[in-house]
Chains A and B, each alone.
Chain A
Amino acid sequence: MPSALINVPKKARNGDIIEIKTLISHIMETGYRHTTSGQVVPRDIITSFACRFEGDEIFRADLFPATAANPFISFFTVATKSGKFDFEWIGDNGFSSTASATITVE
């Protein structure tokens, strides 16, 4: 199971702009590297990331070989109500990983 780290504030006031930070462990093999015998190391990257709040998509990103290993992405959202954030990473070779975090809005 690939491990993801999510940083979402546990509590926020209604209307606060909060930062969400995500990190997932992944090699992000570019497909441009060669072994010493000259063979190309096949590409193995995460190609897309999405964040949903209570089912509504609030952020999405396309990733490329130019994304560093163990992709880190941070973005913002407005806290409007208590609920659950769902995170999803999809990549090459059928890679898929999910994570979630809850927030309490006062």
Chain B
Amino acid sequence: MQGRPTSTRRRFLGLAGGTAVIGALPVAISVRPVEATPETMASAIRTVTGGANVQTGRVKLDIPPLVENGNTVPMTVTVTSPMTATDYVKSIHVFNEKNPQPNLGNFYLTPRAGRAQVSTRVRLADTQKIIAIAKLSDGSLWSATADVVVTLAACTEEVI
């Protein structure tokens, strides 16, 4: 007898809360800037790789698969490498598909890093694919990809 009204009340409160949250979000998604496209990402990748073959593996891209707020998304890239003077990771490049421009970050390492790992926080404008490419001292290129679902996009809100 008691269960039903309570659950209705709870549902009502839940709904009301949900609406309030939506109301509090920045309403304006009116002006969307030009998106980077998979093609601009491909051309940005080409400037790094020079068209050389990129192999899959050795790179680990840690990024949450579901992101509530695209304005700060923690991201860690780790590359398996002994990091010795003759065999090390020269640079790590991270790209995205759908932000206004295709770069997320370039990181340049030396053998003195000891461990080829970098962390940062990025903005993501949309649900999209992220790709990390590592350039090794022997010239080989390795990559990892990750798909990220973004609920609240970065970059699109208006400034008052």
Interface check B158, CB cutoff 8 A: yes
* Cβ B158 vs Cβ A33 within 8 A: yes
Q: Mark B112-131, 1 if CB is under 8 A from A, else 0.
A: 11111111111110000000
Interface check B99, CB cutoff 8 A: yes
Interface check A105, CB cutoff 8 A: no
Interface check B43, CB cutoff 8 A: no
A61–B155 CA distance with the chains assembled, in angstroms: 22
Q: Which of A32, A71, A80 is in CB contact (< 8 Å) with B120?
A: A71
Given known pairs A17-B114, A32-B155, A34-B159, the reply for A73 and B106 (CB within 8 Å) is no
Q: Which of B103, B106, B109, B159 is in CB contact (< 8 Å) with A75?
A: B109
Closest residue of B by beta carbon distance from A61: B107
Q: Which of B113, B157, B158 is in CB contact (< 8 Å) with A59?
A: B113
| B110-160 contacts to A (CB < 8 Å) | 110, 112-124, 154-160
Interface check B105, CB cutoff 8 A: yes
* Cβ B117 vs Cβ A75 within 8 A: yes
Interface check B100, CB cutoff 8 A: yes
Q: Mark B61-84, 1 if CB is under 8 A from A, else 0.
A: 000000000011100000000000
For B28, B106, B112, B117, the residue with the greatest tally of chain A CB atoms inside 10 Å of its CB is B112
* Cβ B105 vs Cβ A75 within 8 A: no
Interface check A58, CB cutoff 8 A: yes
Count of interface residues, chain B, beta-carbon cutoff 8 Å:
38
CB distance from A81 to the nearest CB of B (A): 12
Residues of chain B contacted by A3 (CB below 8 angstroms): none
* Cβ B114 vs Cβ A34 within 8 A: no
* Cβ A68 vs Cβ B73 within 8 A: yes
Q: Mark B28-53, 1 if CB is under 8 A from A, else 0.
A: 10010100000000000000000000
| A36-92 contacts to B (CB < 8 Å) | 36, 38, 41, 53, 56-69, 71-78, 80
* Cβ A34 vs Cβ B123 within 8 A: no
* Cβ B159 vs Cβ A78 within 8 A: no
Closest residue of B by beta carbon distance from A38: B31
Residues of chain B contacted by A98 (CB below 8 angstroms): none
Residues on A facing B (Cβ under 8 Å) = 17-18, 30, 32-36, 38, 41, 53, 56-69, 71-78, 80
If A59-B109, A71-B120 are given as contacts, then 8 extra A-B residue pairs at C-beta distance below 8 Å, sorted by A number, are: A30-B123, A36-B158, A60-B107, A62-B105, A67-B104, A67-B123, A68-B71, A74-B120
